[in-house]
A and B are shown apart, each in its own frame.
Chain A
Amino acid sequence: MGVLYNLRNSIEEKIKADGLDAAEIRGKIGLRTGRLMALISPSTPDDAASIAKFRQAAKEVLNLSL
């Protein structure tokens, strides 16, 4: 538990660091993964498929390897 939440945090940090449009980036990743980033909390259970989708989305949208 917590991997998805960590991934979310990494993405948020990248958005903040690069000064990107947070709503747009979160939206793009949310549409690619089928999950709303805002609803991912530390208690969100991990599943392998969602983790893989988040990593792929982060790579495609932010060119960020997680």
Chain B
Amino acid sequence: MKWNSIRTKVLAAMAACLIVGVTGTLLLLRYSFARNSQALATESVHGAQRLFGILEARETSKMVAVTEALATNPEVGAALAARDRSRLLSLTAPLYLQLKAEGITNWMFHTAEPDMSVFLRLHNPAKFGDQLNRFMDKEVSRTHATVAGNELAKAGFAVRTIRPVYDSAGHVTGYIEFGEEIGRFIHEMKTQTGDDYGLLLNKKFIDQKFWADTSASLHRRDDWNDHPTFVVADSTSASDRIIQFDGDLSAVGGNGEVLERFDSGDSVFVRGLFPIYDTSHNTVGAMFVVRDISGVYVSMRNTQRTLVALSVIGLVFGCGLVMLMLTRLVFSRLQHIIRVATRVVGGDFETEIQVETDDEIGQFEQLFDQFRRVFVNVLSEMSELQEREKV
């Protein structure tokens, strides 16, 4: 191979195009893959957030409906107004068992102001008389209207509703509260989506003693000292990977964040989180979501490999086609001209150039053949002159 030949230069240019083309394709696919992964992760977070919102709204409306029915029940109202705890318990205990099966974990009656203490806990009847002093207690006392939202209490972090109960004279005789632990939500979410979830609460909003009591009442290990800034309310995964977080939970944006894509064994996961608010709109924690994207990942990888292979094949085929055309249309015809020129100089005046096309090389072939004829004529005349001189 001659390094200064046009063929070599064209081949080198095509090899450079091939490398640039394949590298460009790879970079484009890599970028596309990263964007798709990010979009998938973002969708996982948003989907989980939407699902959480739907479950929260569904359970809230269910609890509000039950609260309304109970608040208008004259027997229940009379027992609460009379502060007859045993009567109230006997009236409501059968219903509590049914509601518990539906997911209700907390049911409380509170006395009216000014003490507003817990009068009866259906989920723990032996414990009463304490004041909770939560935001939602103050809010329902201020507005005397139904208040709903997430609130941390001794029985855990739960979505709750609380509403006043009125007597026939329109005076508030007490309050009814229902709650459903959010930890239950994440297990339902896992059942629906197959993703893993973890609920983390910011320690800033929790009293250590309060958390220890909550853990004891839920028969859960007190994990207060496991992490510096948060506690794990619940998780659907046995792995700690889901809850690894070094940032500030209260700084998580309203639409959530994608944290990472990671591999575990043969599987690929994306992980993100979205904020959880309490009734007073504090970001009290965050829900972590981990989705297995192995199927999509493998599909994208296969597409990537196929596209790279097709690009290489296409570029190699294109290079081959260009070289074939250059050889047929240019190089072999130039070679023929060189051969004819050499033979003419060597005394073979019969070899001609067959001009078959009128392209650029064809025009040159025609010109060269005309030149060849002139050269042959001149040479013949010179030979005759030499012969005459000899004679």
Contact = CB atoms under 8 A, between A and B. Distances in A.
Interface string A14-38: 0000000011111111110000111
A26 B382 contact: no
B343 interface: yes
B341 interface: yes
B346 A23 contact: yes
Contacts of A22: 346-347
A22 to B, nearest CB: 7
Nearest to B389: A43
Contacts of A36: 345, 347, 379
B141 to A, nearest CB: 112
Contact of A30 (B345, B351, B383): B345
Interface residues of B, number: 14
Interface residues of A, number: 15
A38 B375 CA distance: 14
Interface in A1-57: 22-31, 36-39, 41
A22 B347 CA distance: 9
A28 B351 CA distance: 15
Contact of B347 (A28, A31, A37, A41): A37
B384 interface: no
B347 A38 contact: yes
A46 B64 CA distance: 122
Interface in B361-391: 379, 382-383, 386
B348 interface: yes
A26 B343 CA distance: 8
Contacts of A38: 347, 379, 383
B344 interface: yes
A23 B386 contact: no
B336 to A, nearest CB: 13
A24 B342 contact: yes
Given A28-B342, A31-B342, A23 B383 contact: no
A47 B346 CA distance: 21
B386 A37 contact: no
Contact of A24 (B343, B379, B383, B386): B343
B382 A39 contact: yes
A38 B387 CA distance: 12
Nearest to B350: A23
A27 B346 CA distance: 3
B346 A26 contact: yes
Contacts of A24: 339, 342-343, 346
Contacts of B379: 36, 38
Give the interface centre of A26, A27, A28, A31 by most chain B CB atoms within 10 Å: A27
Contacts of A28: 342, 346
Contacts of A30: 345-346
A25 B382 contact: no
Nearest to B342: A27
Contacts of B382: 39
Nearest to B351: A23
Contact of B346 (A37, A39, A41): A37
Contacts of A39: 382-383, 386
Contacts of B344: 27
Contacts of A25: 346
Interface in B318-366: 339, 341-348, 351
B344 to A, nearest CB: 7
Nearest to A29: B346
A7 to B, nearest CB: 16
Interface of B: 339, 341-348, 351, 379, 382-383, 386
15 contacts: A22-B347, A23-B342, A23-B347, A24-B346, A26-B345, A26-B347, A27-B341, A27-B343, A27-B347, A28-B346, A30-B345, A31-B342, A38-B383, A39-B382, A39-B383
A-B interface, 7 closest residue pairs, ranked by CB to CB distance from nearest: A27-B346, A26-B346, A23-B348, A27-B342, A23-B346, A27-B345, A30-B345
Given A23-B347, A26-B345, A36-B379, 9 more contacts: A22-B346, A22-B347, A24-B342, A26-B347, A31-B341, A31-B342, A37-B347, A38-B379, A39-B383
